Amino acid sequence: MLIHKTKLVEALFRPSHALLPSSMLSSHSLSSPAGGTNSDTVKSTIYQISHLINQPNWERNKYLKSLVSHLTPDVASKVIELQGDDVERGVRFFKWVCKQSTYCYHLESRITLLNLLVSSNLFAIAQKAIIATIKDCCSGEEEIVKLMDALDDIRKLGFRLGYPCYSTLLMSLAKLSMGLKAFSIYSRMLVDGFVPDLIIYKNVINALCKNGLMRAAEMFFSRVLRLGFDLDTHVYTSLVLGYCRLTDLSEAFRVFELMSDEEGCRPNSVTYSVLIHGLCEAGRLAEAFQMQQEMIKKGCEPSTHTYTVLIKALCDSRSTDKALSLLNEMVGKGCKPNVHTYTILIDKLCREGRLEVADNMFKKMFDDGLFPTVITFNALINGYCKEGFVVSAFELLSMMEKRNCRPNMRTYNELIEGLCRVNMSYKATLLLRRIINNGLWPNLITYNILVDGFCKEGNFDMAFNVFNSMSSIGLEADSFTFTTLINGFCKHGKLEKANGLLCEMLKKGISPDEVTYTALIDAYCKISDIGSAFAIFERMTEHGCPPTYHTFNSFIDALGKENKQLEEHAMFGKMLKYGIVPTVVTYTIVVDGLCRAGNITSSLNVLETMKQAGCPPNVYTYTVLISGLCQNGRVEEAENLLLSMSSLGVDPNHVTYTVLVKAHVKAGKLDRAFDIVSIMFKDGCRPSCRIYHALLKGLLLSSNRIREEVIPTNDLGSRALPLEENGGQCFSDDVFREVDIDHAFKLRDRLEKCCGITSDMYNLLIMGLCKEGRILEADSLIQDMVKRGLFPNKAVCSSLIEHYCRYHRFDHCLEFLNLMLDNGSIPSVSSYYSLIHGLRNEGKVQEVQKLVSDLLKYNGVEVETGLSPYIEFLLEKDEPNDLEILRKIELVHNNERPII
C-alpha cells in the first residue's frame, strides 16, 4: 500500500478545475499527471513564485500560499534552482513549501525533492535541506531508515553528506535508541574521510548504551580516552544508562562511583534519575527513594523526570495514593509535573476505576498550562468506556478534534470496545465507517473487539460476517479471534460450529491455547457428554497444550452433577498427577458433588482437608454446604453453620443468606425467613432482589394464592460462584401475574419492621410489574417510593420509559424524565433511545432538541463544545446494514486508500 502512497495522496487531494479559483489554476496544472502541461504556464508560475519569495515577509503571502498549495517536487526544485547562490533563501523555501504543498509534505515527496536538488548540482542547499528533513520527519525508526536508504541512493549520484549532516543524523539515531545504525553511520563517516569529534563519539556511545551494547560502547569510550578528549558527565551517564538497561546495577554503580571521583564529571540530575529508574525497574523502590534523598544532600535537586520515574514505580507497585502524595511533594518543592507525569497517574487511576480523581487530574493539567497528548486522552477514554460512560468518552473525542490532537487507532479501538460493552456493537460498526472516512485503518485489534462484542450479544451471524470480512482487507484472524468465536458458540450450545472453527484454526497453523480447549471441554461437560470432552482433552495434551485447573474443574463439576463419585475422585487424582494444585474452587466443586449425593459427612471432611492443605474454605464453600444441608432437610444445621461462619473467619454474603431464606420460605416458616433477613441487615449485608422475590412468594403462599412449588430444589449456579446472583431469574415465573398491590405493600410493611426499606425492593417490584404490563400499579409504587425519599434505578427508569413509549405516552415520559432530574438521577443514554425515536416519528423536533440539550447538560457537557453530532450518533435508533458497512470497508481497502 505504501508503494502507491504518493500517487494516492495526489489523487485524494487533487481538486476539480471547476472548484479552483483562477489564481490557483496554474499551480494545479503543474501537478496534473495527464501529461498535458503547458510549458509556458509552468515557466510563468515558476518565475512568479521566485519573484514573490524575494519580497519581504513572503511566508505570510496568502496568494503565494494558494499558488504553491499543490506544487509538485519537480516544480519546487526549479524555483529553488532560480535562487542561485542565495543558499539561505533556497533552504527557507524548501522548509516552507514542504509544509504548504500537499505534494511535498510526506517524506517520500521530500526525498524526491532532495534527489532533484542533487541532480541540479545544488549541493549546498541539499546539505542543509537534508538536515531540515532529518529534524522534521525522522520522529520514528521507520522514517529515519527510509531516509537513510534514500541517502545511500543519492550517494550513487556522486553526492557525499557533509559533517553537519552526519552529526544531525547521529543525534537523531541516539534519540531513537538505534545503536547499530549509529555505528554504521559512524563507519560511513570514516570512509568519507571525516575525523569525528567528541560530539560524534558522545552520540554513538549514547546510542549504543540505549540498546545495551556495552562492549561496543566501552570500545568507543576507550577510544575517547586514547584520543585525549576530556570526558564529561554526558559520557559517564550514558554508560550508567547502558548498564541499567542490562539490569547490571552493580556495574552501573561502579561507573557512578568513578564519575563521582572525576573532576568536572560529577553526577547531575539525569545521572541520578537513570540510576533511580534502574532501581525501580529492579523492584528496589526503597533504595530508589534513598538515592533521591542522597542527591538532595549532594545539592542536586530532583528534576521532573526524577519524580516521574518514582511516581510511575509507585503506580506499578499499586501504591497510587503514595504516588499522589509524591506529586504534591513535587509541586510543593517548585518542580512542575509534565504531561508524562500526569498521564501516568491518569492511566493508573482509570485502571483502578477512580474516574473522579482521574478527571480532576486531567483538569489540573489544563490549569498548569499543559495540553494532554493522545496517550493521555486514550487512558481517560479507556477509563470512561470501561465504566460504561460512553457519552463522556465521546466528549473527550470531540475535545481532541477541537484541539488538533489527532485520535489514533487505539483511541477508536477504546471507543469501539466501550460501545460493545454497553451492547451497542452495531453502533461500533458505524463508528468504524467514520474511522475509515477519517483516513485511519482498522487493525486486528479492532476486528477482535467487534467479534467479541457481537458474540457477547449473541449475534453470531454478525460476528461470523466480521470474522469472514477480515481476510478481504488483508487481516488474518489470530488465536484470540478463533477462541472468542469458539467460546461464544460453546456458551450457546453450538458445538458443531465450534468444532468446525477449531479444525479451521488448526489448518491455518494457529495453535489453540488452554482457553480454546477448555471452552470446548466445558461445553461438552455441561451437556453431560463426558466422552467428547475426554476426546478434546486428549487432543489438547497431544498438541502439547498443558491443562489447567480450569480444565479439570469442568470435568469434576460434570461428574459430580451426575453423581459419579468414583470417576470424580479419579479425575481429582489425575489433576494431582499433572502437578496442578487444587484451588478453593476445585474443593468447592467437590463439596457440591458430595452434597448432591447426600453425603454431608464426606463434604464436612473435605472442609477439614482444605484447612490442612493450606487452602481454607471461603464463603462460597460454606454457602454450598449450607445449600446441601437445606436440600437434605437439615435446615436447622444449616442455620447454625451460617451463624457460626463469622467465628470461623468467613463472613456470609447475600447469597448465603438467600439460600437460608428460601429454605425457610419453602418450609412455610415465613416469620423465620424475615428473622434471617433481620440478622442479615444487622450484619451489614444488604438484602438482594432474590431475597425480596422469595419473601414475596412466601406472602403469596401464606394467602393461598399460589399452590405450586415455589423454590427449586437446586439453586446452584456456576461452579466458580455456586450461587451467583442472576437478576433475570427473579422474573422467570408467574409471581408478578398473580401478585396484587396489597402484597407489595404488605412486603414493604414487614421489611420496614425487621430491617428497613431499600430502593432494591421497590426496583424489583416495579420492574416485575412493568414486565407484565401493569404500568398503573408500577406508577403507584413509584409515587410511594418517592414519598419515602427513594427513587428507581436507571434500569427501572429505562424499562418504564420503554413501556410508556410503546403506548405513545410521550408526555408521561417527559414528565417522568423531569421527575428523575428533580430527584438527582441523571438519565442514561439508553433511557433516551425510545423517547427520541418516538418523538422524531411524531415530528416533534423541538422536544427532541431539548432532550439532546438536557443530555449534554446533565453529563457535564457544554452545548457549545460541538458534541451534538456525536450525541446524535449515539442516539440514532435505527440499526445500520452492518454487512453493507463491511463491504464498504473492503471496497476502500481494495482502492488502497492512503493513510494521511
pLDDT, position 704 = 53
Q: Which of 172, 174, 134, 132 is nearest to 150 (CA)?
A: 134
Q: Cell numbers for 678, please give them.
A: 433481620
User: Where residue 589 falls among pLDDT bands split at 50, 70, 90?
Assistant: very high
User: Where residue 890 falls among pLDDT bands split at 50, 70, 90?
Assistant: low
Q: Which of 789, 788, 812 is nearest to 800 (CA)?
A: 812
Numbers of helices and strands, H then E, in the chain: 50, 0
Q: How far apart are CA 58 and CA 89, in angstroms?
A: 11
SS3 for 628-696 is: HHHHCCCHHHHHHHHHHCHHHCCCCCHHHHHHHHHHHHHCCCHHHHHHHHHHHHHCCCCCCHHHHHHHH
Does residue 44 contact residue 26 with C-beta atoms inside 8 Å?
yes
Torsion of CA 717, 722, 724, 726, to 10 degrees: 10
Q: How far apart are CA 328 and CA 189, in angstroms?
A: 49
User: Where residue 833 falls among pLDDT bands split at 50, 70, 90?
Assistant: low
Q: Say which residue, 18 or 265, is predicted with more confidence.
A: 265
Average of per-residue pLDDT across 118-123: 88
Structural domains present in the chain:
1-159 (no CATH), 618-791 (1.25.40)
Model confidence at 527: pLDDT above 50: yes
User: Where residue 883 falls among pLDDT bands split at 50, 70, 90?
Assistant: low
Does residue 93 contact residue 53 with C-beta atoms inside 8 Å?
yes
pLDDT, position 265 = 78
Average pLDDT, the chain: 82
Average of per-residue pLDDT across 743-748: 87
pLDDT, position 480 = 93
Does residue 416 contact residue 450 with C-beta atoms inside 8 Å?
yes
pLDDT, position 414 = 94
Q: Using CA of residue 448, residue 453, residue 458, residue 462, what is the dihedral sign?
A: negative
Q: Which of 309, 385, 380 is nearest to 340 (CA)?
A: 309
Give me the phi and psi of 744, to 5 degrees please.
-60, -45
SS3 for 761-810 is: HHHHHHHHHHHCCCHHHHHHHHHHHHHCCCCCCHHHHHHHHHHHHHCCCH
The size of the chain, in residues, is: 900
Average of per-residue pLDDT across 354-361: 91
pLDDT, tens digit, 9 for 90 and up, residues 217-248: 999 989 988 888 888 889 899 999 999 999 99
User: Where residue 871 falls among pLDDT bands split at 50, 70, 90?
Assistant: low
Q: For 352, which DSSP code?
A: T
Q: How far apart are CA 143 and CA 165, in angstroms?
A: 16
Q: Which of 731, 787, 736, 793 is nearest to 759 (CA)?
A: 793
Does residue 495 contact residue 523 with C-beta atoms inside 8 Å?
yes
Does residue 180 contact residue 211 with C-beta atoms inside 8 Å?
yes
- Other residues' Cβ atoms within 10 Å of the Cβ of residue 237: 24
Does residue 673 contact residue 755 with C-beta atoms inside 8 Å?
no
Neighbour-count burial of 252, counting CB atoms closer than 10 A to its CB (0-12 exposed, 13-18 middle, 19+ buried): buried
Does residue 377 contact residue 411 with C-beta atoms inside 8 Å?
yes
pLDDT, position 717 = 35
Does residue 372 contact residue 362 with C-beta atoms inside 8 Å?
yes
Q: For 730, which DSSP code?
A: G
Q: Which of 409, 422, 424 is nearest to 462 (CA)?
A: 424
pLDDT, tens digit, 9 for 90 and up, residues 242-301: 999 999 999 999 989 888 776 667 888 999 999 999 999 998 999 999 999 999 988 888
pLDDT, position 790 = 84
Does residue 170 contact residue 207 with C-beta atoms inside 8 Å?
yes
The residues, ordered by sequence, that sit 6+ positions from 320 with a Cβ below 8 Å of its Cβ are: 314, 345, 348, 349, 352, 354
pLDDT, position 28 = 37
User: Where residue 416 falls among pLDDT bands split at 50, 70, 90?
Assistant: very high
Model confidence at 23: pLDDT above 80: no
Q: Cell numbers for 577, please give them.
A: 498427577
Q: Say which residue, 376 or 870, is predicted with more confidence.
A: 376
Average of per-residue pLDDT across 10-32: 34
Q: How far apart are CA 50 and CA 83, in angstroms?
A: 7
Name residue 35's amino acid.
G
Average of per-residue pLDDT across 703-721: 41
Q: How far apart are CA 734 and CA 739, in angstroms?
A: 9
Model confidence at 13: pLDDT above 50: no
Q: How far apart are CA 691 and CA 694, in angstroms?
A: 5
pLDDT, tens digit, 9 for 90 and up, residues 598-646: 899 999 899 889 988 889 999 999 999 999 999 888 999 988 988 888 8
Q: Say which residue, 264 or 782, is predicted with more confidence.
A: 782
Range from 39-43, 255-259, 780-784 carrying the lowest mean pLDDT: 39-43
pLDDT, position 807 = 77
User: Where residue 869 falls among pLDDT bands split at 50, 70, 90?
Assistant: low
Q: How far apart are CA 890 and CA 236, in angstroms?
A: 54
Give all strands (DSSP E) within 286-338, no chain letters.
Answer: none
Neighbour-count burial of 302, counting CB atoms closer than 10 A to its CB (0-12 exposed, 13-18 middle, 19+ buried): buried
Average of per-residue pLDDT across 653-679: 89
Q: Which of 871, 373, 410 is nearest to 362 (CA)?
A: 373
Range from 178-192, 672-686, 712-726 carrying the lowest mean pLDDT: 712-726
pTM of the prediction? 0.70
Q: Cell numbers for 587, please give them.
A: 474443593
Does residue 287 contact residue 256 with C-beta atoms inside 8 Å?
no
Give me the phi and psi of 712, to 5 degrees please.
-60, 150
| Three-state DSSP class for residue 317 | coil
Average of per-residue pLDDT across 749-761: 83
Name residue 273's amino acid.
S
Q: Say which residue, 493 or 37, is predicted with more confidence.
A: 493
Average of per-residue pLDDT across 588-607: 90
Residue percentage of the chain with pLDDT more than 90 = 30
pLDDT, tens digit, 9 for 90 and up, residues 481-519: 999 999 999 988 889 999 999 999 989 889 999 999 999
Q: For 281, which DSSP code?
A: H
pLDDT, position 391 = 81
The vertex-197 CA angle with 193 and 198, nearest 5°, equals 150
Q: Say which residue, 871 or 126, is predicted with more confidence.
A: 126
